[in-house]
Amino acid sequence: MFKSIYPYTQELIAEYKEHTANEIETKLLKGEKAFRDMLNIPLDQRRQWMAQVAKSMRDNVKEHATIISQEMGKTLQEATAEVQKCATTIDYYVENIEQILQPRIISSDASKSYVSYEPKGIILAIMPWNFPYWQVFRFAIPNILAGNAGLLKHASNVSGCALAIEKLFTESGFPEGTFQTVLLSSQHIEPIIADPRVQGVTLTGSTPAGKSVAALAGKYIKKTVLELGGSDPFIVLKDADIKEAAKVAVQGRMQNAGQSCIAAKRWIVEKPAVAEFTQAVAEILQAMKQGDPMLESTNMGPMARPDLAEDLGRQLKETISQGAHLVLGGTYEGCNFAPTLLTGVTADMTAFREETFGPLGVIIEAAGEEAAIALANETDFGLGSALWTKDLEKAARLARQIESGNVFINAMVRSDARLPFGGVKQSGYGRELSLEGTHEFLNVKTVYIH
């Protein structure tokens, strides 16, 4: 049984049965049929159905946001914003999909040659609990519009979200099987990856999960896109607007109770700016209210599971014992972890070396801008990064030196339907969103006419 537990109180809210092998076979049959049927359905029709998904989400935003908050603990306000972001992303793709799928004419020695972008079949999406709607929709919207079918294996603590998303697609007019949820634990995933009807696997999750899924997908020659962990640097140079940087650093770190792959996990601050930055972030953190995600007065909810809070507690304890200074917070009970600030963190400490997935802000002092970039790159991860300076020429030069899939200058890292999203190094490969993300699971077919 999969259990949905309200993280704030640890109350059991629902239980779901794992699907049987027969039920999974039925889903694969339906998915394959939906894919074949969709080949004959005009793009305009798919756009209309997708627009209906957005309408239905907007009409019932409170209901969807409540399921999210109840299952993984983010505030109702954050959950509402997540549902709205999914709907806005649908608007973007409904408007732009035709252009994204446009065949690309290439001159060669043929009388005509071009590349056409064609769907391949069922794409398996293995998704995490931290943005239980957004992570699914950013895969599902472009793929389904392009003609693939989606099969979702969601994290086991957000089964209610997974089923609500399936219902949205079914009720919006798409052929049955276009988007389905399979309730299954990870150890039973191999037969689905092996199935010839499944043509690709996208995974958002931890680096170990990415390694094991990519190994299986490799065994069966299935394309993968991996969006894995991150330990994003948030670099503040001495000429930055320090107050603004501090405000955005806290937002980037503490959103979603710090449980985001692109959270600002390492605040790397040039020495002359450290004191002002520390004071500014401490003041903001002090004013934060961690608590019941359903209350409007709460601006940070609990973490999603007690074991995650325990693990963050272990990282915090180790980092303090290695010499870092606890400025505020540091306490937790169950899933409720206080916003916490550490200073004096160095590159050999746990909170620098490991990804910290919770509300922990750490300040790392850099002797100068070159040292700051070296510290930023001293990680196995390479997902996002932020760089704060008023000198935009310097920013452009330094951005090229940062080893990450994206660099945000004087802004917080965030995903946006218009921009490709993904990482390098142990943060994975492939891209989501935008044109690049849409083409990942399509057959990039060369057509040559003599």
Contacts with ligand SSN, residue ranges (CB under 6 A):
130-131, 260-262, 414-415
Quick one: which of 318, 240, 319, 253 has its CA closest to 281? 253
* Active-site option among 71, 78, 166, 227: 227
Give the nearer residue to ligand SSN in terms of CB position, either 30 or 265: 265
Decide: helix, strand or coil at residue 387. strand
Give the nearer residue to ligand SSN in terms of CB position, either 87 or 349: 87
Catalytic residue status for 23? no
Give the nearer residue to ligand SSN in terms of CB position, either 49 or 139: 139
Helices (H), 172-262: 190-194, 207-219, 242-254
Give the nearer residue to ligand SSN in terms of CB position, either 201 or 282: 201
DSSP annotation of 340: E
Q: How many Å apart are CA 106 and CA 316, to the nearest integer?
A: 55
* Active-site option among 161, 261, 270, 335: 261
Catalytic residue status for 86? no
Helices (H), 202-305: 207-219, 242-254, 274-286
Least Å distance between CB 236 and ligand SSN? 21
Least Å distance between CB 412 and ligand SSN? 10
Q: How many Å apart are CA 94 and CA 103, to the nearest integer?
A: 18
Q: Chain centroid to CA 344: how far?
A: 29
Which amino acid is present at 136? V
Least Å distance between CB 432 and ligand SSN? 8
Q: How many Å apart are CA 348 and CA 367, to the nearest integer?
A: 16
Q: Sign of torsion, CA 159 163 168 170? A: positive
Contacts 24+ apart (CB under 8 A), 88-93: 88/417, 89/137, 89/138, 89/141, 89/417, 89/433, 90/50, 90/51, 90/53, 90/54, 90/57, 90/137, 90/141, 91/51, 91/54, 92/417, 92/418, 93/50, 93/141, 93/142, 93/145, 93/417
Give the nearer residue to ligand SSN in terms of CB position, either 82 or 195: 82
Under 8 Å between Cβ of 387 and 407: yes
Which amino acid is present at 437? G
Least Å distance between CB 262 and ligand SSN? 5
Least Å distance between CB 111 and ligand SSN? 44
Q: Which residues contact 110 (CB under 8 A, 6 or more apart)?
A: 448, 449, 450
Least Å distance between CB 261 and ligand SSN? 3
Edge-to-edge strands, sheet with 198-204: 179-181, 149-154, 122-127, 198-204, 223-227, 428-429
Under 8 Å between Cβ of 189 and 219: no
Least Å distance between CB 120 and ligand SSN? 24
Under 8 Å between Cβ of 181 and 155: no
Give the nearer residue to ligand SSN in terms of CB position, either 240 or 261: 261
Least Å distance between CB 289 and ligand SSN? 22
Give the nearer residue to ligand SSN in terms of CB position, either 404 or 415: 415
Give the nearer residue to ligand SSN in terms of CB position, either 260 or 350: 260
Catalytic (active-site) positions:
227, 261
